[in-house]
Amino acid sequence: MGKKYDVIVLGGGTMGVAAAFYLAKEGKKVLVIDQYSIPNTYGSHHGHTRMFRLGNGNGGQYVPLGKESLRLWKDLEEVSGKTLYQRVGALTVGHPKSEYVSEAIKSSVINDLTYEEMTASMIRERWPGIEIPDDYYGCYDPEAGFLFSEECIQTYKEEAIKLGAVVLENQAVVDLDIKSEQVTVFTTSADFTAEKLIVTAGAWIPKLLRSIDIPIKPLRKTIGWFKPTVEKLYSEGFPCFIFDTDTIGHYYGFPDFDGGGVKLGRMDLGYDCDPDTVNREFGAYEDDESDIRNFLEQYLPGAAGELVKGAASMFAMTPDEDFIIDIHPEYQNVCVAGGFSGHGFKFASVVGKILTELATKGETQYDISFLRLNRFSEVEKV
């Protein structure tokens, strides 16, 4: 029998290392295991940056979590002495009937956030690199910006280790033996036991927690970096952006803040995939570049220059695109956090705290009622 811990965190990606940090801070003996290095380019967190916005939709329910996340990201910057967050603002823009834009405005109003509602002409005047039809409108969030994703994960890992956490990389968990008083985790070369288990294995969760029907569907997604043809139009003063168009779909991106290009991805669509066999080569699918280039040509034409690089990764989608954070319906000593549906990174800091509270106290101070598993009526014990 291997070494015994208070808590094992299965999956040392975005949410796993955050949980490991807060558990270690609470004085818990914690082991975090990942099948790859931490961070890595196989899950959902690579690609340098992730957008942070407060005025998210869904009736504003994510806003309190977002505020707490931002506070915790700033704490992490202070503890580590690193810059992890860049505040550059974010513009949400869309067609006249876009619920995405109206939701962003509504949640800003409900939560008393600072925001600017903007007409198409105001947007074009402030950012001349943007071309949109006259009837489009937008919502600008000045507090928004982006996090350096791999750097955040690296930092949580380093700080967790300083606090005594044990981090095991490049060892896949291949089996679990869950009992109400103890969990045993089997990797390819060893086994470990703990009182509690936190499963933060991203797109792999359904493969690991097979006794419950956990509705997470992995989607292959791509991102590309493009060199603007018009200098400076998309760098200084240019915000992160989300476009809900009525012609070609829903796209998001980042300014060219470091000369590496404007980064662009698509929020909707994507290809169903298996995380163990997905083709991670950018360009493997015919539309990997053409789809995002098409958006730039129409809406940010001066950014549609040479493709600098591309990457492929995965969203882990739930049916309603809200996260799953809960205690296992059968085992009180197991927690799960997944299905972050392409918008979870910004919340990783608070998710780490929530998981720590769930694992150590069985409850959390944060309102996660809308993220619990029982909202899916089809979730059944097998």
Ligand X SMILES: Cc1cc2nc3c(=O)[nH]c(=O)nc-3n(C[C@H](O)[C@H](O)[C@H](O)COP(=O)(O)OP(=O)(O)OC[C@H]3O[C@@H](n4cnc5c(N)ncnc54)[C@H](O)[C@@H]3O)c2cc1C
What does the binding site for ligand X look like in residue numbers (CB under 6 A)?
10-16, 33-36, 40, 42-45, 47, 50-51, 172-173, 200-202, 204, 208, 221, 223, 265, 313-316, 338, 340, 342-346
In the complex with ligand X, the residue whose CB is nearer, 136 or 146, is 146
The contacts of residue 245 (CB under 8 Å, 6+ apart) are 94, 95, 251, 295, 298, 299
In the complex with ligand X, the residue whose CB is nearer, 25 or 346, is 346
CB 107 within 8 A of CB 58: yes
CB 55 within 8 A of CB 92: yes
Rg (CA), the chain: 21
**Beta carbon of residue 217, minimum distance to ligand X (angstroms, whole number):** 13
The contacts of residue 275 (CB under 8 Å, 6+ apart) are 42, 43, 202, 203, 204, 207, 218, 314
**Beta carbon of residue 88, minimum distance to ligand X (angstroms, whole number):** 13
**Beta carbon of residue 231, minimum distance to ligand X (angstroms, whole number):** 25
In the complex with ligand X, the residue whose CB is nearer, 13 or 89, is 13
In the complex with ligand X, the residue whose CB is nearer, 43 or 302, is 43
In the complex with ligand X, the residue whose CB is nearer, 184 or 313, is 313
* Per-residue 3-state assignment (H helix, E strand, C coil) for 294-347: HHHHHHCHHHCCCEEEEEEEEEEECCCCCCEEEECCCCCCEEEEECCCCCCHHH
**Beta carbon of residue 266, minimum distance to ligand X (angstroms, whole number):** 9
**Beta carbon of residue 272, minimum distance to ligand X (angstroms, whole number):** 14
Spatial CA neighbour of 292 closest among 225, 218, 229, 220: 225
